[in-house]
Amino acid sequence: MQQAEKRIHSYRNLNDLLRSDRADLQKDERTVYLFWDAQGQLVGQSPKQAFFSELADQLRAASDSAAVRTVRVDQHSYRVVQFPVQSQSHSSIASVEIVRSLEDVQHTLRSLLLDIAAGMVVGAVISAFAGLFLAGRALIPIQQAWEKQQRFVADASHELRTPTAVIHAQTELLLRYPDHSIEQESPHIAVVLKESKRMSKLLDDLLTLARSDSNQLEISSSQIALDALIEELSERFELLASTKNIHIVTDVKQPLTLWGDEGRIRQLLIILLDNALKYTPSSGTIEISGCYQGNSVCMRVKDNGIGITTEDLPHIFDRFYRGDKARSRAEGGTGLGLSIAKWIVNVHGGVIRVDSAINEGTQIELLFPRKSKTDQKPSTSQKHRKLH
């Protein structure tokens, strides 16, 4: 409006504006120029016949003050400014009023408000669905952990029920004959001892897994003479293997060292050798090998035993899982050994791989990162770090 006002003041004879339609005024369809004489009569407008005279009278200001006003007429809003004009030439125009319709602006604002409201509604809906989706995704690990815990408790209770029932039954038999000597009741005592040992082993395994889940177990890292450890364990198991006419063969590179917890690595090898011995038939062979393989220390325990079915192979590291439950129970297995073995491998940053076929045997390969003492400076976090 200020630009239009300056342009109007630049004209010497405003009567020329009346004879032209829009002359050289600001070209804007929303803007109308009303020309008033000294008596307050409308003498012209540009564009012509833009307003009826009654509407123009309602838009006219009571005084010639140059204040900008907003006038609402018949539910239509206008922005109005009226100012006096002085021309050197004779002119009947005493003041000019610039009127601009606000309909387009209000329509734009209404559209913008509708768009904002629609956007807020759509955003709220999307946020609600996204929140539900993300909440569901976030609850999946919690639900899985809860189900895993429930299954663990149920399996543990089931495993403990059998030795408890056997011990209970055998002790009742002992109480029936209080006059019998220990020698007479030695078969029943032997059963109680066997089941108590089995229960003790099961409780130790459960305690190990429970502490590992709660990050309460620690390892003490040191350099392990792995070649000597394998030779020692193979000689120990050779005595047990000889009773089943099973031959144990070792092929270990010397020297072979590994940085880790010697107690846990020993437990890992005992679990693997014990499983191989259980499921290798008479006159079978168990091969133990160890060597460096690139930046890793590689160990393999291979047997020509009964093997593992394709259906059971993906689940062998699950807790309490046994492919042949009757046979495993008869052999004294609890289904926790390989779960502990996998945990030991994981906590040492290693990888465990299993390859097996029915009636052909099983090979378990272990890969550990090859680290030296200089690679790991003694520190509290490395010497005693929590297990995950």
Instruction: Give the domains, in start order, of the chain with CATH numbers.
Output: 2-101 (3.30.450), 122-213 (1.10.287.130), 219-386 (3.30.565.10)
Evaluated on CA atoms 367, 373, 377, 381, the torsion sign reads positive
For residue 228, what pLDDT is reported?
A: 92
Pair of tokens at residue 237: 């198991």
Q: Is the CB of residue 188 less than 8 Å from the CB of residue 170?
A: yes
Give the residue from 296, 305, 274, 290 showing the smallest Cα distance to 231.
290
Look-up: residue for tokens 């005592």?
Answer: 189
Look-up: residue for tokens 């004294």?
Answer: 332
For residue 124, what pLDDT is reported?
A: 93
Q: Is the CB of residue 342 less than 8 Å from the CB of residue 366?
A: no
Give the residue from 93, 101, 71 showing the smallest Cα distance to 8.
93
Q: Is the CB of residue 303 less than 8 Å from the CB of residue 317?
A: no
| Phi, psi (rounded to 5 degrees) for 172 | -65, -40
The one-digit pLDDT tens for each residue of the chain (388 residues) are 555 555 555 444 555 555 544 444 445 557 788 888 777 778 777 777 677 777 777 777 666 566 777 777 777 788 787 777 765 455 677 778 788 777 778 888 889 999 999 999 999 999 999 999 998 888 888 887 787 777 777 777 767 777 788 888 888 888 888 888 888 888 888 888 888 887 887 788 777 777 776 666 667 788 889 999 999 999 888 888 888 899 999 999 888 999 888 888 998 999 899 889 988 988 899 999 999 988 899 999 999 988 888 888 888 888 777 665 544 555 555 678 888 889 889 888 899 999 988 888 899 999 999 875 445 444 433 333 433 3
Q: Is the CB of residue 362 less than 8 Å from the CB of residue 303?
A: yes
Give the residue from 220, 382, 229, 387 showing the smallest Cα distance to 297.
229
Sheet of strand 247-252: strand arrangement = 247-252, 285-293, 296-303, 361-369, 351-357
Q: Which string of DSSP letters, residue by residue, matches 209-233?
A: HHHHHTT--EEE-EEEEHHHHHHHH
| Cα(5)–Cα(29) distance, integer angstroms | 17
Q: Where on the phi/psi map is residue 382: left (φ > 0), alpha (ψ -120 to 50), or beta?
A: alpha
Indicate the DSSP class of residue 244.
T
Cα distances (Å, whole numbers) of residue 335 to 91, 102, 152, 212? 111, 82, 12, 17
Q: Are strands 222-225 and 257-260 parallel, antiparallel or unpaired?
A: antiparallel
| Cα(285)–Cα(241) distance, integer angstroms | 9
3-state secondary structure 281-311: CCCCEEEEEEEEECCEEEEEEEECCCCCCCC
For residue 143, what pLDDT is reported?
A: 83
